[in-house]
């Protein structure tokens, strides 16, 4: 799952939710305007507003919410002037007295009609309103990347807006951080726990389940790879040990030392010669009577040591 797909899936799920309460509609509209909105002062007290959005589905959602609040809006599309000419969607709102009243209630404007850096606390006084605000913030200017370096980010034009997103998230039990760049500020989370908490509070439960499933699959795959690597490493070590033991037995036999060893070492040498691929544990089980893996490993190690230093020790020991 790519980063673009992650963000698109989350926005699609959030955009399909229907806020039932008026306070939730106001909170979500507030977040949309504080992350993706602009106020245009046209002179003589005339103003207009617009939302600049990456996806038409989010614009249609904002249009629907404004319609529920009896605010007239219009959707337009345009292409950015950048090299990719990506399509963008704008939602235009004329500054009618009712629109100004609603945006004032949503904490977008002051009572005197001037824009606010951040909404007042009453806009997110309820838990449902906090969820709606976080939902609107992600729909307006959220990004989500992963899986290698998970990162959720909510951009805002001003530091106050990002700090407000952080405070709303904190009240909902989600820890975000705030940082500033030359052109904007942003609230962000790193790590799947914080990201999944943010999406869950916002209402993207299906996306969270998908992320958890992805995390589980990745964990199982990593564990399988770890075990496979461990098994491979064990097989390599076992093969090298067995080869060294076979060479030791061959050398001791050629030098006439093998016949002078004690019965236990001779039996171990014979078992290794007859079963060159078996492990120490398997060889130990084939002795009469069976011995422990440690005892067999010690006897085989003794054979290797005798082959390397044939002049030391008593060859009949063991």
The ranges assigned to domains in the chain are 3-203, 231-308
Residue 81 has pLDDT above 70, yes or no: no
pLDDT higher at 116 or 88: 116
Q: pLDDT of 25-71, one tens digit each?
A: 999 999 999 999 988 877 776 788 989 988 888 999 999 999 999 99
d(CA 167, CA 205) in angstroms, rounded, equals 22
Q: Which of 54-68, 89-103, 110-124, 251-265 has the lowest mean pLDDT?
A: 251-265
Pull the structure tokens for residue 160. Answer: 């106050």
Q: Where are the beta strands (DSSP E) in the chain?
A: 37-43, 46-53, 73-79, 87-94, 142-145, 151-156, 177-180, 185-190
Q: Does residue 185 contact residue 162 with C-beta atoms inside 8 Å? A: yes
Where residue 256 falls among pLDDT bands split at 50, 70, 90? confident
Average pLDDT, the chain: 85
* pLDDT recorded at residue 174: 93
User: Cα(217)–Cα(214) distance, rounded to whole angstroms?
Assistant: 5
Q: Is the pLDDT of residue 190 over 60?
A: yes
The interaxial angle of helices 205-254 and 192-202, nearest 10 deg, is 160
- Whole-number pLDDT of residue 77: 85
Helix (H, G, I), strand (E, B) or coil at 111: coil
Task: Kindly indicate the confidence band of residue 213, based on its pLDDT and cuts at 50, 70 and 90.
Answer: low
| Peptide bond just before 147 cis, omega within 30 deg | yes
Work out whether the CA dihedral 103, 109, 113, 114 comes out positive or negative.
negative
What is the predicted pLDDT for the residue at 80?
67
Answer whether residue 127 shows pLDDT above 70. yes
- pLDDT band of residue 163 (cuts 50, 70, 90) is very high
Q: Which of these ranges, 3-7, 151-155, 170-174, has the smallest mean pLDDT?
A: 3-7
Out of 2.170.120.20, 3.40.140.10, 3.10.28.10, 3.30.390.50, the CATH code matching 3-203 is 3.10.28.10
Q: What is the mean pLDDT of residues 256-268?
A: 86
Strands 46-53 and 87-94: antiparallel
Residues 6+ apart with CB under 8 A from 182: none
Per-residue b or e along 21-54, where b marks 16 or more CB atoms closer than 10 Å to that residue's CB: eebbbbbbbbbbbbbbbebeeeeeeebebbbbbb
Nearest Cα residue to 264 out of 296, 294, 286: 296
Phi–psi pair at 224, nearest 5 degrees: -65, -40
């Amino acid at each position: 799952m790519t980063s673009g797909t992650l963000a698109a899936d989350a926005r699609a799920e959030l955009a399909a939710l229907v806020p039932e309460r008026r306070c939730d509609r106001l909170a979500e509209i507030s977040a949309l305007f504080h992350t993706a909105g602009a106020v245009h002062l046209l002179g003589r007290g005339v103003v207009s507003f617009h939302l600049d959005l990456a996806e038409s589905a989010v614009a249609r959602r904002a249009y629907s919410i404004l319609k529920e609040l009896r605010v007239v809006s219009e959707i337009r599309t345009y292409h950015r002037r950048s090299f990719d000419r990506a399509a963008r969607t704008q939602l235009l709102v004329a500054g009618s007295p009712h629109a100004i009243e609603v945006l004032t209630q949503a904490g977008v404007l002051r009572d005197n009609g001037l824009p606010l850096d951040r909404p007042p606390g009453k806009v997110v006084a309820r838990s449902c309103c906090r969820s709606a605000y976080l939902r609107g913030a992600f729909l307006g200017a959220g990004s989500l990347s992963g899986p290698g370096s998970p990162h959720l980010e909510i951009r805002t034009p001003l530091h106050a807006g990002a700090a407000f997103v952080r405070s709303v998230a904190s009240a909902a039990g989600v820890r975000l951080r705030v940082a500033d760049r030359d052109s904007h500020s942003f609230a962000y989370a790193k790590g799947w726990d914080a990201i999944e908490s943010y999406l869950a509070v916002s209402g993207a439960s299906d996306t969270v389940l998908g992320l958890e499933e992805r995390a589980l699959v990745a964990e199982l795959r990593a564990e399988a790879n770890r075990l496979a690597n461990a098994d491979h490493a064990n097989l390599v070590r076992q093969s090298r040990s067995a080869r060294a033991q076979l060479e030791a037995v061959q050398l001791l036999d050629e030098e006439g030392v093998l016949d002078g060893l004690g019965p236990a070492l001779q039996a171990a040498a014979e078992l290794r010669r007859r079963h060159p691929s078996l492990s120490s544990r398997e060889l130990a089980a084939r002795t009469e009577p069976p011995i422990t893996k440690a005892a067999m490993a010690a006897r085989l190690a003794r054979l290797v040591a005798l082959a390397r230093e044939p002049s030391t020790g008593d060859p009949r020991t063991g």
